Amino acid sequence: MNGFKIEFAYQHIIKNMEKKYWQSFGELNQSGSFQQKAENEFQEQLLPLEDLDDKGLLDAKSPRRDFLKYLGFSTAAATLAASCEMPVRKVVPYLQKPESLVPGVANYYASTYVSEGDVIPVIVKQRDGRPIKIEGNEKSTITNGGTSASVQASVLDLYDVTRLRYPTQQDGKEFKEIPTFDILDKTIVEKLAALSGKPVVLLTSTLNSPSTAQIISEFLGKYPGSRHVQYDAISYSGMLLANEACYGKRAIPSYHFDNAKVIVSLAADFLGTWLSPVEFANQYSKNRKVSAEKPEMSQHIQFESSLSLTGSNADDRFTHKPSEKGAVAAALLNALNGTAATFTDKKLNEGIKLAAEKLKVAAGNALVVSGSNDVNQQIIVNAINEAIGANGKTINWAVTSNYRQGIDTDFNTLVNDMNSGAVGAVLIYGANPAYTYYDSKKFTDGLKKVPLSISFNASMDETTEFCKYSTPANNWLESWGDAEAKTGYYSLIQPTINPLFKTRAFQTALLKWAGNAMDYETYFKDFWTKKLGTAEAYYQALQVGVIEPSIPIAAAGATFSNAKLAEAVTKVTAVKGSEYEVVIYQKVGMGSGSQANNPWLQELPDPITKVTWDNYAMISPALAKTILGIDVLGSQRDGDRYEVTPEKPVITINANGKEISLPALIIPGVHPNVIAVALGYGRQSSDPEKTRDYIGQSANKAGANAYPLVSFDGTSFRYSAVQNVKITKSDKEAYALAQTQVHGSSENRPVIYETSLARFVADPKQVLAEATHEREMLTEASNGEDFRKDATIYPDFVKPGAKWGMNIDLNTCTGCSACVVACTAENNVAVVGKTQVIRAHEMHWLRIDRYFTGDISNPDVVFQPMMCQHCDNAPCENVCPVAATNHSSEGLNQMTYNRCIGTRYCANNCPFKVRRFNWLDYNGSDSFEDNQNPLLGIDLDDVTTQMNDELTRMVLNPDVTVRSRGVIEKCSFCVQRLQENKLIAKKAEDPSLIRNVKTACMQACPTHAISFGNVNDKESDVYKIRNIEQKHRTFYVLEQLHVLPNVSYLAKVKNTGRHVTNEKEEEGGGNVEKKAGKNADKAHG
């Protein structure tokens, strides 16, 4: 009877469920092939049997023989493995053990990640002498311990096999080793002396190191007429020049998103890639934490052409063509003065009106930022910020930031000088213009004409190839150094490993060549000891990692001059567009492409598109219909044909006189006339055959290079193409994209709860009313009182000590994916390669599900980090025939690899689809070498077996087992950290110490969206969030299955006047949902 009642309750719930959140068009339309694909989750043939022909096992031609073959092989293999002698292992202790080192205990050193002007203070985890993990430095008030995907992945760059291992000299065609640095120094000094007055140019990316700046000025002093040119792959020169025009300072101020109640972003991806995303995401999140007690949050309005990470987090989002970017800024300025915008797109006009209203109301607690590199647009943005009173409040001119300093004209002049033979020597450090400059050929031609060219870059990249000398600099983890992210905010770098190869600091080379015998280490120590006063203060600073003003510098404005404003407005409004326009953007993981050979970043699914290993032409469904004839929304057949196979049709883009062919990826939310292309891909040596050896196996053949599409307008680089853009469907064969989008589908069960701020304030309980109602119904149906105990036939086990739980705030999760890479690094998660991702074999323990919802042409986006939920009633545990997965008394869903026999029943039974199966021996951990050959006879990507390399293996975390072929793995809640922390607490006899435990994802998160702790401890964050602070927003995914997850989520709250999807529909609202619903009905009918 009870069973019937519960069944009835479920039926009722399912009936009431409406599909509101979708990951793919198939899911939206509920097409047949989508459902088929979702059911067939492994997407594999069951057994590699010959000639099965759908005739069943017994009628097939040779199943018996095959069966015997496999049986024979496994028996023989087992015997062989068993009878092998145990190998003799050696244990080699130190000759002189360093005092600070205890083998088996990790040391942590403060350092700083620096790359192309980015500065992130970090703590490096060093285990037995090798760095294995990067964490954010919580002592920094700029980042507050946040990191990004590239910081997390950078530890793997240290062990990159393509790193140059010694200084070389190009000898016509070959690079020959220079035996010692003394010989190198002697040759270079001679050559520099023989330049006869021609200038020496130091070409670097933005350098914000004060000690290096001093060394550079010493060096330049030694060679009169020489200069230092800073060149940024992604330029901010428009902003620098605009600030010079408006405020008389060629600098970038500090932004305070945390002081802003209203944020308007004009295509600035400040949560993903713009300027200092970790800092901004951290600030941004402070105003996005909302609770019934503090029902306040900032309002974020985004205007953009493509769908960026920041746009997907916005409360309200409006699209425009890239050519209208300046006009939108100008219209917003006018709207502040009461003039309505007059675009043909009415929605855009409304958006500008809305933004202007909100900005005015906020009275200074507002901020407008623009991602444009156009001086005029930035001047207008400055004027807007002046008009809304942001100058001095959310924009701080007392502390300027040094992240980007390159001026595009400087570099252009250099390229011209090089071509005219006016440059004597060029020393390149941290810049790769042969790849990132739009006119690569002009640069390399010029470079060839320079008598002395020296590259300090770490690998044989596109630029180094053309240099006469290569003297690789140390990796940042092997370096001394400093960085001044903002005026007065210093951060120090200390080495955490001896240089692995014969490399030398860039600064030491400059010192030697300037005639200073000191090496950089000594120079650096002297520099800081002098600056800080005492050696003690220096060591103290090294230990802490950051030097900051003891009292935060008060925010101050700068005097604004509107002299150039009128001219700027005229210029931007005069820009003509064309039918199609191209936006060139950066992906969150890949950025400018300097880390393109990092497989962790390549395999990281882009938060918006979920594509790995490639870039593509991102287009809207409407544009796809026009140029490709694919109607993904209207026609189910089209949608399926496009979506179910990984092969996507290729389109050719003609812009700025360049041509590029890319697979078309249909993403809703992109402006209907816009094609968005990501930078950072298509790395290639001059001889494409050599790319694999020179640049690396991960970067090789990954995507196409979009830098040639960038243009130069005489003042700055333009990251869009607005005129004479031609788009054609290419005849080229369809190109396979490895997209993880639908690999884990929840099959229509509701997993997201969302509401608007106004409704949340009115009734905080309403957002989870549905879930609460369901719970009550289920409890009632089972004649019970306690939902947890009575709604199940399984016994309820006590957790006598700690019970681990995690909470994720969907409001502050921006989808930046730092956690995904952190998890990969911490848990030795394997990289499988593009071919394997296409087959849904990716191994990530933590994925970020991206759901679209609402208006199909401009959808809202919700990100939901999804990992093992450690269910207390875990469906996976019941179906394991060998008890390889079971539950611990601390609430962990344990996975025991050495017991697993690979039936995959657990993965099949997991409603969250978080269990990953090792189809191959990715880590080389099996006894049989042959296990790395795939049985099914497909080609593997080079990178699939990257961990076979002894150098790359050094990155592995020795406390986490590498999994062998044929076993399931999944999130363990970083159990190694839990055990370590418990041990620390036991040793200190202090239970409160386990409150310090942090999982890798939680520690990496720049917005602190993830909390973790012992739920039995009433003082723990998780307990407080779930039961006190956020009890109105806490929900469990798929709660109605009664699997009792240990991961809770906080419902998303949007600060918008629009109707938010999951709310009960009101009069007039929700047209779009109705339409989607109709479509779904059609699909079923």
Partner 1 sequence: MSRYRKILKTAFASLLLIALVSFSNNVLAADGEALYKANCASCHKPDEDGTGPMLKGSRKREPNPEWAYKWVNNTTAMVETDPYAKALKAKYNNVIMSKFDLPKEDIKAILDWADAYTPPPPPGGGGAAGAPAEDNSLLFGILTLILALVALILLQVNSSLRKLSDEKDGVLRAEPVPFYKNKVYLMTGVIALFCFGGYKTINAAIGLGRMKNYQPQQPIYYSHKVHAGTNQINCLYCHSGAQDSKYSNIPSVNVCMNCHKAVKEYKGVDVLVREDGTPVNGTAEIQKLYSYAGWNPVTRTYDKPGTPIEWVKIHNLPDHVYFNHSQHIKVGKQNCQTCHGPIQEMGEVKQFSDLSMGWCINCHRESKVDFYNKETGEGNKFYSIYEKFHNDIKNGKMDSVTVEKIGGTECQKCHY
> Which of residues 519 and 980 has its CB atom nearest to partner 1 in the complex?
980
Q: CA–CA separation, 894 vs 873, rounded Å?
A: 13
Q: Are 957 and 169 in contact (CB under 8 A)?
A: no
Binding residues among 885-924 for partner 1 as defined by CB under 8 A: 886, 888-890, 892, 894-899
Token pair for residue 975? 């159990």
> Which of residues 481 and 891 has its CB atom nearest to partner 1 in the complex?
891
Q: Are 304 and 311 in contact (CB under 8 A)?
A: yes
Q: Minimal distance in Å, beta carbon 542 to partner 1?
A: 24
Pairing assessment for the beta strands 174-177 and 735-736 based on DSSP bridges: unpaired
What 689-696 contacts at long range (C-beta under 8 Å, 24+ apart), as own/partner pairs, is: 692/942, 693/162, 693/460, 694/162, 694/459, 694/460, 694/461, 694/465, 695/162, 695/459, 695/460, 695/461, 695/462, 695/596, 695/597, 696/160, 696/161, 696/162, 696/459, 696/596, 696/597
Contact track, partner 1, 1009-1028, x by CB under 8 A:
-----x-xx-----------
Q: Which of 733, 989, 1066, 1067 forms a contact with partner 1 (CB under 8 A)? A: 989
Please compute Rg for the chain using Cα positions. Answer: 29
Q: CA–CA separation, 530 vs 1019, rounded Å?
A: 45
Q: Minimal distance in Å, beta carbon 13 to partner 1?
A: 34
3-state secondary structure 1007-1034: CCCEEEEECCCCCCHHHHHHHHHCCCCE
Contact track, partner 1, 30-69, x by CB under 8 A:
----------------------------------------
Please report whether residue 931 would count as binding partner 1 according to CB under 8 A.
no
Please report whether residue 249 would count as binding partner 1 according to CB under 8 A.
no
Q: Minimal distance in Å, beta carbon 970 to partner 1?
A: 12
Q: Which of 1, 46, 58, 91 forms a contact with partner 1 (CB under 8 A)? A: 91
> Which of residues 567 and 990 has its CB atom nearest to partner 1 in the complex?
990
Q: Minimal distance in Å, beta carbon 89 to partner 1?
A: 4
Please report whether residue 95 would count as binding partner 1 according to CB under 8 A.
yes
Please report whether residue 983 would count as binding partner 1 according to CB under 8 A.
yes
Q: Is 453 exposed, middle or buried (0-12, 13-18, 19+ CB in 10 A)?
A: buried
Q: Which of 58, 88, 193, 551 forms a contact with partner 1 (CB under 8 A)? A: 88
DSSP readout, 933-966? S-TT-PPPPGGGGGGGSHHHHTTS-TTSPPP-TT
**AA identity, residue 869:** Q
Q: Which stretch binds partner 1 (CB under 8 A): 82-90, 307-315, 1022-1030, 1062-1070?
A: 82-90
Please report whether residue 92 would count as binding partner 1 according to CB under 8 A.
yes
Q: Minimal distance in Å, beta carbon 967 to partner 1?
A: 10
Q: CA–CA separation, 328 vs 326, rounded Å?
A: 5
**AA identity, residue 765:** K
Nearest to 808 by CA among 555, 1002, 573, 1069: 1002
Q: Which of 356, 985, 1000, 1001 forms a contact with partner 1 (CB under 8 A)? A: 985
Contact track, partner 1, 792-811, x by CB under 8 A:
------x-xxx---------
Q: Minimal distance in Å, beta carbon 826 to partner 1?
A: 12
Q: Minimal distance in Å, beta carbon 898 to partner 1?
A: 5
Please report whether residue 97 would count as binding partner 1 according to CB under 8 A.
yes
Q: CA–CA separation, 1044 vs 893, rounded Å?
A: 12
Contact track, partner 1, 940-959, x by CB under 8 A:
-------------------x
Please report whether residue 410 would count as binding partner 1 according to CB under 8 A.
no
Please report whether residue 979 would count as binding partner 1 according to CB under 8 A.
yes
> Which of residues 458 and 802 has its CB atom nearest to partner 1 in the complex?
802
Please report whether residue 80 would count as binding partner 1 according to CB under 8 A.
no
> Which of residues 60 and 106 has its CB atom nearest to partner 1 in the complex?
106
Q: Which of 817, 972, 1034, 1079 forms a contact with partner 1 (CB under 8 A)? A: 972
Q: At what angle do helices 408-419 and 440-449 cross, to 10 degrees?
A: 50
Instruction: Fill in the DSSP letter of residue 163.
Output: B
Neighbour count for residue 860 (Cβ, 10 Å): 24
Please report whether residue 824 would count as binding partner 1 according to CB under 8 A.
no
What are phi and psi for residue 754, nearest 5 degrees?
-150, 150
Counting residues that bind partner 1 (by CB under 8 A) gives: 52
CA atoms within 13 A on the CB side of 902: 11
> Which of residues 842 and 959 has its CB atom nearest to partner 1 in the complex?
959
Please report whether residue 172 would count as binding partner 1 according to CB under 8 A.
no
Q: Which of 1, 58, 105, 193 forms a contact with partner 1 (CB under 8 A)? A: 105
Q: Which of 499, 902, 991, 1077 forms a contact with partner 1 (CB under 8 A)? A: 991
Q: How far is CA 1052 from CA 28, 289, 764, 768, 1032, in A?
A: 21, 10, 12, 11, 11
Q: Is 769 exposed, middle or buried (0-12, 13-18, 19+ CB in 10 A)?
A: middle
Q: Minimal distance in Å, beta carbon 97 to partner 1?
A: 4
Please report whether residue 93 would count as binding partner 1 according to CB under 8 A.
yes
Q: How far is CA 632 from CA 268, 606, 624, 666, in A?
A: 29, 21, 8, 8
Please report whether residue 89 would count as binding partner 1 according to CB under 8 A.
yes
Q: Minimal distance in Å, beta carbon 1014 to partner 1?
A: 8
> Which of residues 102 and 535 has its CB atom nearest to partner 1 in the complex?
102
> Which of residues 474 and 972 has its CB atom nearest to partner 1 in the complex?
972
Q: Which of 765, 789, 986, 1078 forms a contact with partner 1 (CB under 8 A)? A: 986
Please report whether residue 561 would count as binding partner 1 according to CB under 8 A.
no
Residues in contact with 52: Cβ distance below 8 Å, sequence separation at least 6, in sequence order: 60, 63
Binding residues among 584-603 for partner 1 as defined by CB under 8 A: none
Please report whether residue 498 would count as binding partner 1 according to CB under 8 A.
no
Q: Which stretch binds partner 1 (CB under 8 A): 300-308, 612-620, 968-976, 1029-1037?
A: 968-976
Please report whether residue 961 would count as binding partner 1 according to CB under 8 A.
yes
> Which of residues 807 and 972 has its CB atom nearest to partner 1 in the complex?
972
CA 217 to chain centre: 36
Q: Minimal distance in Å, beta carbon 960 to partner 1?
A: 6
Q: Are 115 and 498 in contact (CB under 8 A)?
A: no
Q: Which of 39, 45, 54, 104 forms a contact with partner 1 (CB under 8 A)? A: 104
Q: Minimal distance in Å, beta carbon 901 to partner 1?
A: 15
Helix (H, G, I), strand (E, B) or coil at 286: helix
> Which of residues 888 and 903 has its CB atom nearest to partner 1 in the complex?
888
> Which of residues 541 and 910 has its CB atom nearest to partner 1 in the complex?
910
Helix (H, G, I), strand (E, B) or coil at 882: coil
Please report whether residue 789 would count as binding partner 1 according to CB under 8 A.
no
Token pair for residue 206? 């933005």
User: Token pair 């779009």 is at which residue?
Assistant: 1072
Largest CA distance in the chain: 99
Q: How far is CA 989 from CA 107, 132, 325, 543, 993, in A?
A: 22, 29, 61, 27, 9
Helix (H, G, I), strand (E, B) or coil at 11: helix
> Which of residues 85 and 930 has its CB atom nearest to partner 1 in the complex?
85
Q: Which stretch binds partner 1 (CB under 8 A): 786-794, 852-860, 983-991, 1059-1067?
A: 983-991
Site for partner 1, rule CB under 8 A: 82, 86, 88-97, 102-105, 798, 800-802, 886, 888-890, 892, 894-899, 925, 959-962, 972, 975-976, 979, 982-983, 985-991, 1014, 1016-1017
